[in-house]
Amino acid sequence: PVLDTLSCSSFSSQARLAFEYSLKNLLWRQAAFYAERLLAENSCDETRYLLGLAYFHNQEIARAQWHLQSNKLPDAKYLLAKCCLMSKSYSEAEEALLPSGGNLADVVNGAAGLFLLGQVQERQARRAEAVECYTKCLELCPFMWEAYERWSGLV
């Protein structure tokens, strides 16, 4: 979900509408253009997240990752972890998902975050920890089919 804390200037609201229209219609490069304009207008965690999101969808993973660094928004941390997984920066992905350092109850983005953390741990050959993440994920959301598939392949 995209947040609504941007300033209410006419330009910002029009650029925001154009950004959302672009996302809705899978126009990733155009979404990045409007997100860049929004960031130039108001540099904050939200606009950095929007730009990271547009870059991610436009398959510019390194650029997305750079803009998501040190972002405090939970959605941004989750997206950062997704970018880190794709770029094989596993420890950074883990840090984004578990900022406090280890309690699975605190994983960003609930069941989806646990699934992503399980993937990160699986890529690092940490099977037992991956199984624990997938198990917790399925406890929170029994309909996470991919988590069930990964869990089944590991147990």
**Does residue 64 contact residue 55 with C-beta atoms inside 8 Å?**
yes
pLDDT of 8 reads 56
Question: Could you tell me the pTM of the whole model?
Answer: 0.89
Helix axes 28-41, 45-57, angle to 10 degrees: 160
Tell me the pLDDT tens digit for each residue of 77-119: 999 999 999 999 999 999 999 977 678 989 999 999 999 999 9
Tokens of 101: 């350092």
Q: What confidence tens digit (pLDDT) does each residue in 25-41 have?
A: 999 999 999 999 999 99
At 34-61, the pLDDT tens digits run: 999 999 999 999 999 999 999 999 999 9
- CB within 8 A of 80, min separation 6: which ones? 52, 65, 68, 69, 71, 92, 93, 96
Burial (0-12, 13-18, 19+ Cβ within 10 Å), 12: middle
